[in-house]
Amino acid sequence: MSDDNAKLADCLSEPARQAHDRALKSGILYVSGDISDESIYTIYHPLLELRNNSRIKQVEILINSAGGDARLGLTIAKFIANSKKKIITRVVGVAQSAAAIIFLGGHTRIVSPGSELMFHNSWIADFKSSSAQHSQSLYRMHKAIDDEMVDWIMTRSGIPDRKYVANQINQEWYMTAAEALELGVANSE
């Protein structure tokens, strides 16, 4: 184990460390639970290592997650999409919110029968009182994230109608495997 991997192992919970180690050996990543800070170690870091591993010819990411941090989801998704190594994303259950955004990063995108995707606007649970300026700042931040998600969905799916995509994510956009394939969100069965 390299020094970097030893340091990483100290940062992770035992299940996360085991998932990280399995991914490096098999080329198969599992995305479950929240997309959060720990995802840097359980998704991003293994992808970085697998991308440079000549023994692994392609990477498969199996997704069953209700999502989490939208900004982190977009970062991971774009990293996946820009990989020179073929990356397959496959929904095996649900890919909602940030997990659905990550799904779109795959070169080959499969939604298993009986599984579903869900996209929605970004949101934050903030129970603190805030000033009007703070509220306006939060609005601008969410608007920028939402616009980036709409662009990402359009780019990866080929859906040409920005207003349609924006309206759909504004009301929680659920889709089955067949609907995802028909819309171009999934590109393989």
Domain range list for the chain: 3-183
| Integer angstrom CA distances of residue 23 from 2, 16, 53, 143 | 16, 11, 12, 35
- Residues in contact with 83: Cβ distance below 8 Å, sequence separation at least 6, in sequence order: 47, 51, 59, 107
User: What value does the mean pLDDT of the chain take?
Assistant: 87
- Note the pTM of the prediction, 2 decimals: 0.86
Q: How confident is the model at residue 11, as a pLDDT?
A: 66
What percent of the chain shows pLDDT beyond 90?
A: 59
Q: Residue 166 and residue 32: Cα distance in Å, rounded?
A: 26
DSSP state of 32: E
Q: How confident is the model at residue 1, as a pLDDT?
A: 44
The pLDDT of 23-44, averaged and rounded, is 84
CATH class of the domain defined by 3-183: alpha beta
What are φ and ψ of residue 136, in 5° steps? Answer: -65, -40
Lowest pLDDT segment from 8-12, 22-26, 31-35, 78-82: 8-12
The pLDDT of 147-172, averaged and rounded, is 96
Does the pLDDT at position 3 exceed 70?
A: no
Q: Residue 82 and residue 125: Cα distance in Å, rounded?
A: 32
The pLDDT of 138-154, averaged and rounded, is 91
The pLDDT of 15-23, averaged and rounded, is 74
